[in-house]
Amino acid sequence: MKKKKILSLVTLALLGLGVSGCAVFKADAPRGEQQKTEETKKGEEDVTSSASKKESGESAGASEESTPYTDPSKLKSSYDVVIIGAGGAGMTAAIEAKDAGLNPVILEKMPIAGGNTSKSSSGMNASNTKFQKEQGITDSNDAFYEETLKGGHGTNDKEMLRYFVDHSADAIDWLDGIGIKLDNLTITGGMSVKRTHRPSDGSAIGGYLVKGLMENVAKRDIPIFVNTDVTKIHEKDGVVNGVTAQVQGEKARTIKGKAVVVTTGGFGASKELIEKYRPDLKNYVTTNQVGSTGDGIKMIEKLGGQTVDMDQIQIHPTVQQDKGILIGEAVRGEGAILVNGEGNRFVNELDTRDKVSNAINEQSGKYAYLIFDQGVRSRATAIEFYAKQGYVTEGATIKELADKINVPASNLENAVTSWNQAVATKQDTAFQRTTGMDHPLDQANYYAIKIAPGIHYTMGGVKINTKTQVINKENKPITGLYAAGEVTGGLHGQNRIGGNSVAEIVIFGRQAGQQAAAYAKEQK
């Protein structure tokens, strides 16, 4: 595949447009109506052209020279560890399995690696890290645990959560050790301190993380096969021993494995499963890439695997509706505010995602505007990508911005002035916001992005233990089967804290790779 085509495919996947004529979730009236309009088609053409010129290269993170995919003809009939899914969790697991001395393979159904990881924006949460200490930020694993438990309304799997927070700093160190440095800190909703780790330049974490992981996969000569659809996980006498895979649409074949790791992601792009578990959300736009259709969950259920929290689907409050692009929480973490169609603030912008989403849905028209200044734009550089896509409205003054987005100028000016006073006094008497208040909104120019809630993350999935072993309906591990990432459920409870999913894929991706390798070594 030519480099130009790879970049185009990467960017299309990042924007949820897919390939080969896949439709997007389009949000008009009613919001989220599933149709492909002429406007959407034009958007795809524009994005493809943009990608070929590398205008969106900062969000892509794939190049043929440094991270080539493996020729389909080189697919063997047997590997030590078979990993299904080439997102962050899958690549992390593969690296750990390889470093343990084994021979892993990654099978990915999409034309590119990355999955939903590519679309991650805000960062990776971790507590008591070396980067926090270097920057004078006091944090603890217990604080991270308690705030995540509170964010999930106390319904999180506590054993999983304890393992998660206690291994978060190690995950940051591990990434740093393989050339993926996350030393720029910000904050997300539900957190009390800066524990969201980003690339040094403050850019979106997704493309940076995928690029770094793919480089490490390539450096270790780990085979990664794309356009490879795994349709079945095999087991004999209760022991998992391989998969059925269809490569490039050819005849399906059996690939044996001493262990199988499932990292196929969630089901946020499956209209079928969304309607089954949450019919009230069936018309919402989704931020998920088109491959997030719950394949791994379905295959594991057929083996008798247990699922948990399948009706717990997170709505992200700030989604650009035309193409389902998430506007990362780091924008609010760096100081942006939300105003309604009248130009008034109406919520603590860094409350948990469910509460902010509900507040937006209570506004007339069920939409809002993110309002920020040049200072926020310089600190949250992912905004440059949003601007290139045409989502950002700009004004030299607050009044000019208000006129452009058609809200009363006096209201918007008052909202910004009142917010700046709250920042100065560190007391937001209107909505009790206490974080993301380091800088006032006083650096021209001024900007707005129109947003509304959209389907973002599926907290439910297959049940695993802290060793990432998949648990069956009898509450026993399925021998030889491991899972990590959004395909699993329980860790986040009823609401995921922004920045925790990237931490999850690294922490449990590492564990899955290590545990699968240890098990495979025991097999004859």
Cα 329 to chain centroid, rounded: 12
Q: How far apart are CA 212 and CA 19, in angstroms?
A: 24
Q: How far apart are CA 384 and CA 389, in angstroms?
A: 9
Q: Which of 31, 198, 353, 510 is catalytic?
A: 353
Active site residue 377: no
Cα 183 to chain centroid, rounded: 19
Task: Write phi, then psi, for 76 (nearest 5 degrees).
Answer: -90, 170
Q: Which of 34, 21, 85 is nearest to 291 (CA)?
A: 85
Tell me the Cα Rg of the chain: 22
DSSP state letters, 467-517: T-EEEBTTS-EEEEEEE-STTB-SSSTTSPPTTHHHHHHHHHHHHHHHHHH
Give residue 34's region: left, alpha or beta (phi > 0; psi -120 to 50): beta
CA angle 229, 233, 235 (to 5 degrees): 160
Other CB atoms within a 10 A radius of the CB of residue 368 amount to 28
Distances (CA, A) of 7 to 13, 52, 297: 10, 6, 29
The amino acid occupying position 6 is I
Give the residue numbers marked as catalytic: 353
